[in-house]
Amino acid sequence: MKNLIDAKGVDLFWEQPKALQTRFILVAGEDIYAKLDFNSGFSTSAEAATNEDRWTFKRVGLFSTRVIVRQAGSQVDFATYNPGWTGIQGKIHFATGCQYDWKVANFWASRYLLSSDNGLALITFLSGSREKNFASIFKQQAQVVIAPEAWQLKELPILVLLGWYIVILHIYDSSASATTASVAVLY
């Protein structure tokens, strides 16, 4: 894997290599900059990696859920994500005291935004793939646009990984809700 800082100025994409696997890679051309692997298709636990570090992500709680982020092998929370009650926005809190906002940025949920606590857009995830082919419609993919101000953030690698993890959770939760609603209508 290459260092994420080396991707400055190139088009980054989160890609799902195989539609039925919950594995994602952050790429620019043929270069890989990060990986996100869910432990199984039925789990919210995931392992995330860049060239510099490794983390674990896990959604915990039943009614009041949150996501905990830990460095691999550690039992100490490195960061947490607390979603709002609607699930379309929330706050990321780092143990260092830094905070960021995550939200669905448009009605169609095809654009997701990570911003600073004062509202400055830092990372945008735009649904879609770099390759326009039939197989791509069955995969979760997005372009990652990193604002110039974000490149200097110490938390940038984890924000790119955690932001995508939250996007995937949101997509899976939305799909489950739509399926439940359609089944309820049938009965």
Tokens 């800082």 belong to which residue? 5
Average pLDDT, the chain: 88
Quote the pLDDT of residue 177.
46
Q: What number of other Cβ atoms are within 10 A of residue 6's Cβ?
A: 12
Q: What is the pLDDT of residues 63-99, one digit of tens each?
A: 889 999 999 999 999 999 999 988 899 999 999 999 9
Establish if 71 belongs to a structural domain: yes
Question: Does residue 158 form part of some domain?
Answer: yes
Q: Is residue 116 a part of any domain in this protein?
A: yes
* Residue 152, domain member (yes or no): yes
- For 5-60, write each residue's pLDDT tens digit: 999 999 999 999 988 889 999 999 999 999 999 987 678 999 999 999 999 999 99
Q: Looking at the domain assignment, is residue 186 inside a domain?
A: no
Tokens of 59: 């959604």
92 part of a folded domain? yes
Per 3-state DSSP, the chain is made up of helix, strand and coil in percentages (nearest 5) of 25, 40, 40
With respect to residue 89, please indicate whether it lies within any of the assigned structural domains: yes
Say what the pLDDT of residue 183 is: 39
Please give the structure tokens belonging to residue 159: 């924000």
Q: pTM here?
A: 0.88
Instruction: Give residue for tokens 């953030």.
Output: 153
Please give the full DSSP string across 57-116, using - where no structure is assigned. Answer: EEEE-SSS-EEEEEETT--S-SEEEEE-TTSSEEEEEETTS-EEEEEE-STTS-EEEEEE
Structural domains of the chain, count:
1
Q: Which residue range forms the structural domain that includes residue 34?
A: 4-176
DSSP string of 43-63, one letter each residue: ---EEEEESS-EEEEEEE-SS
CATH of the domain at 114: 2.40.160.200
47 occurs within a structural domain: yes
Select from 160, 146, 172 the least CA-distant residue to 65.
172
